């Protein structure tokens, strides 16, 4: 998605250690028009998978996932990081390391909203190491639902996440694939 790549080039900042700061339009302040177009493009990529719900992780994945779900006409679920008292006693829960927080985070989904009859499309802001998406995929499996695809706005291919997720045997699409971060320069690869 050329518009997203241009925004990354203009406003993204390489903080070193593989961290790309995009908080002016994606991960803190959200450019809703850009995310709407990103969601429409992700929905277009996954039109044929017949998703019944879109799943993401709290909080930065919510904007692209919400617009993807809207474009597909299906509900969006986000995995909570802290369990509210309103959730039932039994939940689907897994953990994943957070690259930016330097800790393990919990991902929690209520069984009220994901059942064995669902076809789940995972959408997230980043595909980097793939650990968060892999944890979401394990939650989908625990629910008995079918995982039908994985999408991201930005993929950092040099962190190996796609290879980790490949055994899930579902389509994986990213809107902007970064091959490497070289000082202030972002080097993009081919779309996949």
Structure confidence at residue 182 (pLDDT): 87
At 130, the pLDDT band (50, 70, 90 cuts) reads very high
Which CATH number does the domain housing residue 9 bear? Answer: 3.40.50.2020
Token code pair at residue 144: 């008995």
pLDDT (tens digit per residue) in 98-117:
877 778 999 999 999 999 99
Taking the mean position of all CA atoms in its chain, how far away is CA 127? Answer: 7
In whole numbers, what is the pLDDT of the chain averaged over residues?
Answer: 95
Asked if the model's pLDDT at residue 192 lies above 60, the reply is no
Q: What are phi and psi of 133, to 5 degrees?
A: -65, -35
pLDDT (tens digit per residue) in 58-113:
999 999 999 999 999 999 999 999 999 899 999 999 999 987 777 899 999 999 99
Domain limits for position 161: 2-188
Region 29-57: mean pLDDT is: 98
Structure confidence at residue 191 (pLDDT): 53
Asked if the model's pLDDT at residue 174 lies above 70, the reply is yes
Beta-carbon contacts of 3 under 8 Å, excluding residues fewer than 6 positions away, are 34, 37
Number of domains present in the structure of the chain: 1
């Amino acid at each position: 998605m050329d518009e997203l790549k241009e925004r990354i080039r203009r406003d993204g900042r390489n903080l070193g250690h593989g961290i790309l700061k995009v908080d002016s339009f994606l991960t803190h302040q959200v450019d809703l028009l850009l995310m709407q177009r990103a969601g429409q493009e992700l929905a277009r990529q996954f039109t044929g998978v017949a998703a019944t719900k879109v799943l993401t992780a709290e909080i930065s994945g919510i904007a692209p996932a919400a617009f993807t779900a809207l474009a597909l006409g299906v509900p969006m679920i986000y995995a909570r990081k802290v369990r509210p008292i309103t959730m039932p006693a039994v939940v689907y829960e897994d953990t994943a390391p957070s690259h930016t927080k330097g800790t393990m985070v919990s991902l929690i989904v209520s069984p009220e909203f994901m059942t064995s009859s669902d076809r789940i499309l995972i959408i997230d802001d980043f595909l980097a190491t793939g650990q968060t998406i892999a944890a979401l995929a394990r939650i989908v499996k625990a629910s008995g639902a079918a995982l039908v695809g994985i999408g991201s706005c930005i993929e950092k291919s040099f962190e190996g996440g796609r290879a980790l997720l490949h055994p899930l045997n579902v389509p994986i699409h990213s809107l902007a694939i970064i091959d490497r971060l070289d000082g202030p320069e972002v080097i993009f690869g081919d779309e996949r």
